[in-house]
Chains A and B, each alone.
Chain A
Amino acid sequence: MGEIILDVVNQRTAFPTKRGMLQAVNGVNLTLERGRTLGVVGESGSGKSVLARSIMGLLPRAAQTGPGSSVHLNGRDLTALSERELRPIRGREVSTVFQDPMTALNPTLTVGAQLIEGLRHHLGMPKRAARARAIELLRSVGLPQPETRVDQFPHQLSGGMRQRVAIAIAISCEPDLLIADEPTTALDVTVQAEILDLLQRQVRERNMAMILITHDMGVVAVRCDDVAVMYAGRIVEQAPVRELFQRTRMPYTAALLSSIPRITDGPHRRLDAIGGRPPDLIHPPAGCAFAPRCKFASDPCQGVMPALEGDERHRFACHTPLQVEAVA
């Protein structure tokens, strides 16, 4: 086992709404080692983005964090820190790449100014060195002509270029953990491929850990070491990527995989759609949240919440897991 960078214990995050508390994240446990990429997949409402924000401590004020929840980054409990104490940690130890780079970039500042600010503030670099470093960072994220781009404003760049800049800012202070929340969802497929290549290379070269949050099983399959599948605020299955795809145990994961249209399929193949609707997060079912839509659901599934169990490699939360042939 490598050095554990992130340890999330029993994370619960809820939001008050008119109808009651919405349990967005409902008891998530995660550990992440240096140098590894964890993919967190799920559909909208699965809680994957709220989980990311909970780790970053970037939740809206109304959000309630469960009393037993803790997020340890490099051994320090972030939930015990004040906003003031968190500030030097963000960017320096953990940083984020968001779906829409325009929201992450300040439209009134040049690309260089935004990079230099972080470098001077967090690393205390002198101005000249920071500028040189900024250009070097922009080059390393594949921005053409970084010497001139450094003085441009975000609106002068294309969507893909902006995301490259956002990544440059995120990695500028050499964080230990990078959280990428749907970093390529707003981008075209060819640009997506380039940005994912870039993220993967940066994680490897800088020996960071990365949490890649996405709805796209395809992105997870080729870009992550481990995968956590989320449903209704919980992790329902977690395993190394090949294990998860080849020896799927949780029926939801299996259903999700078979509902994806694949480029290798023949035309007009009927998709195995998942029937029913996602669960109500305000009044979740007592048992397994997926039970009402699950083909294999039995009595205990309706009444008893399955725990996330299994061996060190492969854990799943299911009373009626799919059978896979024994490992040779």
Chain B
Amino acid sequence: MADIAAHTKSAASQSEAATQDANAAAIAAFEKRNRMGPFMWLPIIWLCIVIALALFAPLLGLLPADEMDFMALKAAPGAADGHLLGTDHLGRDLFSRVIYGGRVSLTVGFAAPAIGVGLGLILGMAAGYYRGWIDDVVGIAIDTWLAIPGLVILLLFAVVFGGSLFMVCLSLGLLFIPTAARITRAATMKYAGREFVLAARAMGASDRRILVKEILPNVIWPLIAFVLIDIPIAIVVEGALSFLGLSVKAPTPSWGGIIAEGREHLESSPHIALIPTAVMFLTVLSFNLVGDTIRRRMSDVREGAI
């Protein structure tokens, strides 16, 4: 044993330097995983541009999205003066239409998950905290709601209420409720059993105080992760609805609508359909990439590291 100890000492000094190198490499690898690469900042830049353009569209001095320029029908991008991305078959400026269409797509993208998550949060917290008959009723309601195909609900809303932007957001939002409510219910049940909630009850805290101050700040995190997944889904579904003519009515532009119109002229002027498709593709992809990164960071937050 004594010779082992001696052997160790020399080995220790030799290996010290090597250990440090290995450690430095491991730390570098660890940090690289957490650093923001181009897959983080490129999508962020793209989203900032798209959102800013949509938000400030009326202030940008764009051509009206429904103004027809009969001098330049189906102009290719850059072919006609004043039409950066060209025009469609009615001579409407595609740049304006894509931006104004983005207003519709992004409104639905944000509002539908917000409605769904908002209502799901209330139902899920009530069910998960109070349990008992409230839980049963919410559970049955959600199961019933899920038994109706989503497309049927969307079609019903479109037919009955017509294609107003609010109704599109609402009908899509309602489809997000079940998952949001289930996530919230599970998280609420998890936290409602934690000692800090018990401690609050031991102090005589009201249910409202416990729900708002103790549980809500904890269950909101998994929901944010859920919203990040829902935004691109809502944009895609709205696109599909527009394509089918079940979203906002023409001449109000939306990405799906422009694509649908451009489809007729795919052979002669592919740019009419391809430009909004590309914009939508990049936007959805960006939301997904940013969402993934945020969710990965949030798991660190939840572990208490941040």
Contacts and interface: CB of A to CB of B under 8 A. Distances in A.
Interface of A: 7, 9-10, 12, 14, 16-18, 20-21, 27, 29, 31, 62, 64, 66-69, 307-309, 312, 315
Contacts of A20: 27
Nearest to A20: B27
Contact of B15 (A7, A18, A67): A67
Contact of A18 (B9, B18, B29, B305): B305
Interface residue SS majority, chain A:
strand
Contacts of B4: 7, 9, 29, 31
Contacts of A309: 5
Contact of A307 (B5, B11, B30): B5
A21 B26 contact: yes
B26 A14 contact: yes
A195 B8 CA distance: 36
Nearest to B17: A67
Nearest to B4: A29
B14 interface: yes
Interface in B26-69: 26-27, 29-30, 34
Given A29-B4, A29-B8, A309-B5, A68 B14 contact: yes
A18 B2 CA distance: 38
B15 A16 contact: no
B264 to A, nearest CB: 54
B231 to A, nearest CB: 29
For chain B, give the interface size range. 20 to 34
B293 interface: no
Nearest to B20: A21
Nearest to B22: A64
B27 A16 contact: yes
A312 B19 contact: no
Given A27-B8, A308-B5, A21 B23 contact: yes
B22 A67 contact: yes
Given A67-B22, A68-B12, A68-B15, A21 B7 contact: no
Contacts of B15: 10, 12, 66-69
B1 interface: yes
Contacts of A29: 4-5, 8
Contact of A10 (B12, B27, B305): B12
A14 B14 contact: no
A309 B18 CA distance: 25
Contacts of A62: 26, 30
26 contacts: A9-B4, A9-B7, A10-B8, A10-B15, A12-B15, A14-B23, A16-B26, A16-B29, A17-B30, A18-B30, A18-B34, A18-B305, A20-B27, A27-B8, A29-B4, A64-B22, A66-B18, A66-B19, A67-B18, A67-B19, A68-B18, A69-B15, A308-B5, A312-B2, A315-B1, A315-B5
B255 to A, nearest CB: 40
Contacts of A7: 4
Contact of B1 (A10, A18, A64, A312): A312
Nearest to B34: A18
Given A18-B30, A21-B26, A308-B5, 17 more contacts: A9-B11, A10-B12, A12-B15, A16-B23, A21-B23, A21-B27, A27-B8, A29-B4, A29-B5, A62-B30, A66-B22, A67-B15, A68-B11, A68-B12, A307-B5, A307-B9, A312-B2
A242 B15 CA distance: 35
A149 to B, nearest CB: 32
